[in-house]
Structure 1
Amino acid sequence: MCAASALTNHAWAYNTVRIGTGDWLPYVEQQREDGGALPRLVREVFEAAGYRVEYVYYPWDRNLKMLEDGTLDAILPYLCSTARQRVSTCSDPLVSGDVVLFQRADQVLNWSKIEDLRAFRIATTLGFAYGTQFDAALEQNLLQVQQSGKEETGFRLLSLGRVDFYPQDRAAGYAMINRLFSPEQRQQITHHPTRLHREPLHVLFRKNDPRADTLRQVFNDGLRRLQRSGDVERLQNALNEGRIDQWLLQP
């Protein structure tokens, strides 16, 4: 390989942002050419700044480990939890999501505070954060949980009546229900009206890494441009109204 080619390849690699994510409809959809709404938004920001984006799809907890060891430059979409800030820095908020407790429609379950949840069987997904109070209860082993590595497992356990609750982002949860179950089965699952948590979703960048700090600043600058143009607000509205397929970045 000639010196000029080596320099070109090095520059190409340096300007490639490797981002870990996972299927999480309606936010991320691996089968779509553009990766779904949030990958499309993030790619637009980086490409406008002269970077190339490469997405890889892994389980959520593995993405975090790969970010920590430097295999990935960033991961998305994640809550900016205290635990995650030990190994990452968070971008400005992308969009906000409501975390709710899905349940069977034929059950009457009442809760108003985290302590009430001790009486219930709850499915959780490895690598997920559900809000400060719920996560703290998990860490202290105060809740009856069945953990798994796949989100769909939580809904299947719920459908079978093996758990009482499954916490999940509301928009993502209903998208998953529509994909996993028949129309009759969908009617059997609803969500409790008490919201578990509301928090913005972020891109997480590797901590204590000068290049990652630069990438985070580049991303935040570009995201603010899309906020000023109204693109981010239109995305949030499309998510809230269940019409994400209609959302497009404005030219």
Structure 2
Amino acid sequence: MTPAQGELKALRIGTGDWVPYVEQARSDGGVLARLIRAVFAESGYVVGFVFHPWDRNLLMLRKGELHAVMPYNCSVDRLESAVCSDPLVRGEVVFFHRRDLAFDWHGIDDLKGYRIGTTLGYSYGLAFDRAVVQGRLQTERSGKEYTGFRLLELKRIDLFPQNRAVGYAMLRRQPPELGAAAITHHPRPLNLEPLHLLFRKDDPQSAQLLRQFNDGLRRFAERGDLLRLQQALDNGNADDWQPSGPIQAARD
């Protein structure tokens, strides 16, 4: 049952800075926060977002301290404790590297010998994650995404897998003296990742919220909102996208 007319129920959703998808510095939380607020508003919910490291969000979700987390891909290990919404948008993970590195790859084994930066709490696809667990790849983990680009600029790593839209948004915001212009990406994607809202598994409230959210998301797709959102992300215009549904604000 949805909240009664005139009664708004507050939801608490965990996320992290991931420009252009989510941005703590923006009062509206960024483009995906606008989408999720609008979808839930149509079912009578008001959403507040809290920003934490990605692995902490997942821990808080498992402990029942959050109603949901976003945006995540649905890796096998996450599905042990969470259920995924229908896709919000699609993402493309690529390897960023310095322009002076003659880098090419076709399979996971081609990555051996390279120093690869990764971010705590991230999944980069089943094949890559399995190779890391098996010790077949040399990785250096950090807690913040921008650390990976900094290590790349300092030549302490060779490769940094990152969502392409996110990577270039981060590089555009760096001062020119940090050498962002010397970084490019390999066109072959490491992973194509639909991004989702994750709810706690085996929780009756989560099951209800998931159904309501997916139903609302389908209505947004039918109105063309999701297509406009994907086009805005692909064109670098995510800040200009607004949903056609209502948006309710909540205090974190």
Q: TM-score range by the shorter chain?
A: over 0.9
Match of 1:86 among 54, 70, 80: 80
* Cα distance between partner residues in 1 of 2:22 and 2:183: 22
**Equivalenced residues, count:** 240
Q: Which residue of 2 aligns with 1:120?
A: 114
Q: Which residue of 1 aligns with 2:27?
A: 33
Give CA-to-partner distance per residue, 1:146-174, whole Å, 9 cap, x none: 00111111000000011010000000000
1:113-192 matched pairs, under 5 angstroms: 113-182=107-176, 185-192=179-186
Give CA-to-partner distance per residue, 1:19-54, whole Å, 9 cap, x none: 000010000011111100001100001111011111
Give CA-to-partner distance per residue, 1:51-81, whole Å, 9 cap, x none: 1111100000000000011111100000011
Q: CA 1:87 to 1:184, structure 2 compared with 1: closer, same or farther past 3 Å?
A: closer
Percentage of matched positions with identical amino acids: 54
Q: CA 1:22 to 1:87, structure 2 compared with 1: closer, same or farther past 3 Å?
A: same
Contact 2:153 2:178 in 1 (8 A): no
1:106 and 2:108 matched: no
Q: Which residue of 1 aligns with 2:41?
A: 47
Gaps of 5+ in 1: 1-10
Give 1:175 deviation, angstroms.
0.5
Q: Which residue of 2 aligns with 1:3?
A: none
Following TM superposition, where does structure 1 have runs of at least 4 consecutive aligned residues deviating by more than 2 angstroms? none
Give 1:180 deviation, angstroms.
2.5
Q: Which amino acid aligns with 2:215?
A: D
After TM superposition, the score normalised by the length of structure 2 is 0.92
1:58 and 2:52 matched: yes
Q: Counterpart of 1:72 in 2: which secondary structure?
A: coil
1:234 and 2:201 matched: no
Match of 1:247 among 209, 217, 241: 241
Contact 2:115 2:138 in 1 (8 A): yes
Q: Counterpart of 2:188 in 1: which secondary structure?
A: strand
Contact 2:34 2:242 in 1 (8 A): no
Match of 1:209 among 203, 216, 227: 203
* Cα distance between partner residues in 2 of 1:115 and 1:17: 44
* Cα distance between partner residues in 2 of 1:155 and 1:135: 20
Gaps of 5+ in 2: 1-6, 246-252
Match of 1:75 among 69, 77, 90: 69
Give 1:108 deviation, angstroms.
0.5
Give CA-to-partner distance per residue, 1:121-155, whole Å, 9 cap, x none: 00000001111111111121211000011111100
* Cα distance between partner residues in 1 of 2:63 and 2:30: 26
Give 1:250 deviation, angstroms.
2.9
* Cα distance between partner residues in 1 of 2:196 and 2:15: 12
Contact 2:95 2:162 in 1 (8 A): yes
Give 1:184 deviation, angstroms.
7.1
* Cα distance between partner residues in 1 of 2:118 and 2:227: 30
* Cα distance between partner residues in 1 of 2:229 and 2:118: 27
